[in-house]
Amino acid sequence: MKRGMRVEKDYLGAKNIPKDAYYGVQTQRALDNFSISGLHLQKQLIYAITHIKKAAASANQKEKRLDSKKAKAIQKACDDILKGKLDSQFTVDVFQAGAGTSENMNVNEVLANRALEIMHKKKGDYTIIHPNDHVNLAQSTNDVFHSAMHIAAYTEITKNLLPTLQQLQKALEKKAHQWKKVIKTGRTHLKDAVPMTLGQEFSGYAAMLVKNYKHIKEDTETLREINLGGTAIGTGINTSKNYKKYVYQALAQSTRIKLKPTVNFFEGTASLGPIATAHAPLKVLAENLIKIANDLRLLSSGPLGGFNEITLPAIQPGSSIMPAKVNPAIAEMLDMVCFQVLGNDTTIGLCSQAGQLELNVMMPLAAYTLLNSIHILSNSMHTFTERCVKGIKANEQKCKEYVEKNPILVTALTPYIGYQKAADVAKRAYHEERSVKDIVREEKLMDLKVLEKILNIKKLIK
Which residues carry out catalysis? Answer: 319
Which of the 8 DSSP states describes residue 360? -
Cβ neighbours of 191 (radius 10 Å) = 8
For β-strands 13-18 and 183-188, DSSP reports them as unpaired
Distances (CA, A) of 442 to 248, 406, 428, 447: 81, 18, 11, 12
Q: How far, in Å, are 90, 147, 325 from residue 40 at the CA level? A: 8, 19, 39
Contact 26, 109 (CB under 8 A): yes
Single-letter amino acid, residue 238: N
Instruction: Please list the residues that pair with 103 across neighbouring strands.
Output: none
Three-class SS state of 390: helix
d(CA 57, CA 139): 11
Question: Measured between alpha carbons, how far is 27 from 46 in angstroms, rounded to an integer?
Answer: 14
Distance of CA 41 to the CA centre of its chain: 15
Q: What residue spans of 192-315 are helical by DSSP H?
A: 198-220, 243-255, 265-270, 273-299
SS3 354: coil
Q: Is 396 within 8 Å of 132 (Cβ atoms)? A: no
